[in-house]
Every structure is written in C-alpha cells, then in structure tokens.
C-alpha cells in the first residue's frame, strides 16, 4: 500500500472533524491534491499515486472548519511539513485538533 492518508479528530468533542479541507503540496507550495475529511474525519487517499521521495506539506484549513462550527480558535491553518523517503511506503498523517492546540505524529 502506498500513498498518503489523514485523519482529523476534534479533541474538544471527542469526535471526528468532518468537513476539514486538506491540501497536499510539494516543497514549492504547488498543490498536488486536495480533499475533505469524511464522516469519520478521514481522507483515505489524499493522492492517487505513490509519493516520490521529497519534502511535502499537508495543509489543513482549520480556520474555515472552526468558523463553520461556531468555534473561536487560534490556528487558521495547520501546515505539516514531512519528508517521504520511500515511495513504496504508505504515509499516514493524523491530527488531533482543538481551538488552541493541535498534535500530529507519523501514523501507520
């Protein structure tokens, strides 16, 4: 399995963050793919092809998501920069989101 997936959880409510717009960009900021989290807060395939080794950004439009949900928040956008070193590997980048904090890790 190759490619990239993500999962966004709303830490305040303990539920999936449904409807978060996400953009995959290369190191120069060129958008390669985009999507919106589903009813489980997931995008199972952010991109349709394997990622070649290099630097990428996964950008989460948290500002609009917070506004749409009537939540005052500090982070209008989360930009997670990561490095792909193996094109044959699947990469999973989850986000645990709250109005004044977020965390992420390299998932599996």
Binding-site members for substrate are 7, 42, 105
Q: Which two tokens stand for residue 93?
A: 């980048």
Calpha distance 97→88 (Å, rounded): 29
First to last CA, the chain: 11
- Decide if 7 contacts 108 (C-beta within 8 A): no
Binding-site members are 7, 42, 105
Q: What are phi and psi of 32, to 5 degrees?
A: -105, -30
């Amino acid at each position: 399995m190759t490619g990239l997936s993500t999962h966004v959880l709303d830490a305040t409510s303990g539920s999936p963050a449904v409807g978060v717009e996400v953009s995959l960009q290369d190191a120069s900021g060129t958008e390669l793919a985009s999507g919106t989290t589903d009813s489980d807060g997931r995008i199972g395939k952010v991109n349709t092809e394997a990622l070649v080794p290099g630097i990428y950004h996964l950008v989460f439009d948290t500002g609009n998501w917070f506004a749409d949900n009537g939540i005052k928040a500090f982070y209008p956008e989360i930009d997670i920069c990561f490095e792909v070193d193996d094109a044959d590997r699947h990469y999973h980048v989850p986000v645990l989101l709250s109005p004044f904090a977020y965390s992420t890790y390299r998932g599996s």
